Structure 1
């Protein structure tokens, strides 16, 4: 099979989901890919996962004519020149043609309209493509990549918490805050479940897994078991906001300092602010929030834009415009290298899968399910290939 660098023409036309307007998509049958760059791979997509960000981005800031989708899993079919060179170092992390992988791309992006996960083939950065261990199905693996990006920036860059492998890599003792409580609002979401797994991890030279931080989950009662299975030391229902916040303050002795809000609406922000301890702390949201919700000066709030991880400028019409952030990309390249080690050792569990039917043609229905709030404690996954034998 020829390498990607020797592949001078665009990819054979294939199908992909394309943004056609506000909240609207269609399946194009004549999508082509340009030759991939030196740090890129081409993947034959076997399955994709839907994220709330996919739905929100086309509802609020549609880039008409671009491909949609973040999370994909499949089989590598071509390598860029730098990826080929990496294979010479005999590293277990080096990518090869035929590898089962999962990864994330920045869809609905006017700067690179040919990039999007929801298609038969995807052009992806090697730095955001992970080899899937044989013990894990592609359906499970596809639930992870976008969440890993989000958790990386939220937990480690913004909250400043220790990464699971960092003490082992640097030979350092634990951060003095290790063992502290961290509130995860939206604990049964894919990002919330992944965040709690990562928070509980502590990898040292002598002990592969030890208790790290102590995540507290907030979600619906029906999803308590899921949150607990992913590492929550306690879980509370948001239905009674006042009782939820007071229970968290009692548990943490009014000393809670860290919050990750995976829901990021006015109601979740109120509970998170009320749960933080007397001395305040850090509040990280996954969406923009109203300044009216910032009711305590002792709390430092911030919302994160995970798309900056790819090292490209982000323009969301009517929402925000951000220049490319090379430092953010460098951070995530390092973090994904660590995530690959955790994944290879099967230290990370995927999110519960709700397998959808109909392939690309029915992705619009899944987006509507997200829009209607009909997804809870599950990730919507679509098969794009009839033959999943490589799975």
Structure 2
């Protein structure tokens, strides 16, 4: 019977359980997972909520079956997808489920390992730039508009979401792109016009940013800030060079929970501050999720967007907790941890010619397989 991983809150243990192949609802795609990818929330949610569950959301693989209202995908298609966070049948499994509107075709020249780095990070970056910051989308940038100076600062530019924010900002003509990074400075140089090393200390970071802005003739404050870290003092640092009268800042974590002084931290009244969250593509922003998922496939096809660097963690499903522990311990630097499901002991090989089976397994699942996920 197919298997999936249940991540325990402690990250010191995990369960690999038998689970029947899911049966798709009307707008769902069942994917035979070739490669699953990890994100920081995959270890944080089980810990924060004391919630054992299959926390993976990034999927790349072969369509196994589709719901009755799905018309863009068929069994055998190569796809990547964003699983709906908090729902059952996440990506740490042999078979996973995704809504059709956050599923997209993978061009033949893009490997599953590359494709799986994209859904969560790129769609989060798109939410940040085009929903919350109201930046013109790449298809709206033409002629001289592409040369107008609109600076953006990305704290954590070599994180997956920070890197995709930089790549999309470039496509939208933003300049200069200022990236704050640390160990992965070489990679940061490929993403940003200027790179500032946060390891030099907060005062040095602020001084460097102000010098860059002065050099570019942009005063000494930044109008657009994306804090892709949002903890450990980054919220306070970005506040020092953010335009207090008309700036906009996006964070990936809520300041009221992750600021140093949680009770007293506040942005100035003139600042627009948004905690950007990708789950909106599965609720209030389904159309946005649909359009951008399709567009990501097109950008990949035309080689206008490249995947994030990745590291394959050995062991398939058995390696998931190892990867999550590395994320928790801060060992990831400009890489995504990914897992080849066929590397799991006894897992059958993945083939692009895979087709759906009309016979679903009827064996009784492990009790955690039907854990009451929140709606």
TM-score higher than 0.5 here? yes
Partner deviation per Cα, 1:175-225 (whole Å, 9 max, x = no partner)? 9x95301111001101111110100014xxxxxxxx4443210000x3122
Given candidates 268, 290, 296, the residue that maps to 2:268 is 296
| Aligned pairs for 1:167-178 within 5 A | 167=141, 174=145
For residue 316 of structure 1, what is the aligned residue in structure 2?
A: none
2:108 maps to what in 1?
134
Once the two structures are TM-superposed, the CA of residue 173 in structure 1 deviates from its matched residue by 8.5
What RMSD, in angstroms, separates the aligned Cα atoms of the two structures? Answer: 2.4
CA distance in 1, matches of 2:175, 2:49: 36
Q: Aligned residue for 1:119?
A: 93
Residues 278 and 39 (structure 1 numbering): CA distance in 2 closer, same or farther, change over 3 Å? closer
| Equivalent-residue separation in structure 2 for 1:285 and 1:23 (angstroms) | 26
- 1:310 maps to 282
Q: Deviations over 1:80-117 (max 9, x none)?
A: 2222xx3xxxxxxx32321211111124x2xx3x3311
Moved over 6 A (4+): none
Tell me which residue corresponds to 1:318. none
Q: Which residue of 2 aligns with 1:72?
A: 59
- CA shift, 1:337, in A, is 2.5
Among candidates 37, 48, 59, match of residue 47 of structure 2: 59
1:200-349 to structure 2, matched below 5 A, reads 200-202=170-172, 211-220=173-182, 222-230=183-191, 232-239=192-199, 240-252=201-213, 253-277=219-243, 279-290=245-256, 291=262, 292-294=264-266, 296-311=268-283, 325=284, 328-349=285-306
CA separation in 1, counterparts of 2:22 and 2:111?
A: 29
Please state if 1:378 is matched with 2:356.
no
Paired with 1:134 and 1:120, the residues of 2 have a C-alpha distance of 22
Listed as ranges, the gaps of 5+ residues in structure 2 are 214-218, 257-261, 344-348, 354-375
Q: Distance in 2 between matches of 1:23 and 1:280?
A: 42
Match of residue 161, structure 2, among 176, 187, 191: 191
Q: Is 1:95 aligned to residue 95 of structure 2?
A: no
Of residues 347, 352, 364 in structure 1, which corresponds to 2:321? 364
* Contact 2:267–2:273, Cα closer than 8 Å, also in 1: no
Q: Which residue of 2 aligns with 1:32?
A: 20
Q: Unpaired runs of 5+ in structure 1?
A: 1-12, 87-93, 203-210, 312-324
Q: Report the count of equivalent residues.
A: 336
Q: Structure 1 pair 96/273, CA: closer, same or farther in 2 (3 Å)?
A: same
For 1:326-353, what per-residue CA distance to the aligned partner results, in whole angstroms no more than 9, with x for missing partners?
xx22222222222222122121111111
Instruction: Select the residue among 305, 310, 328 that pairs with 1:353.
Output: 310
Provide the secondary structure at the position in 2 that maps to 1:179: coil
1:82 to 49, 69, 73: 69
What is the rounded CA distance, in whole Å, between the counterparts of 1:101 and 1:233 in structure 2?
33
Partners of 1:354 and 1:212 lie apart in 2 by: 30
Contact 1:200 1:214 in 2 (8 A): no
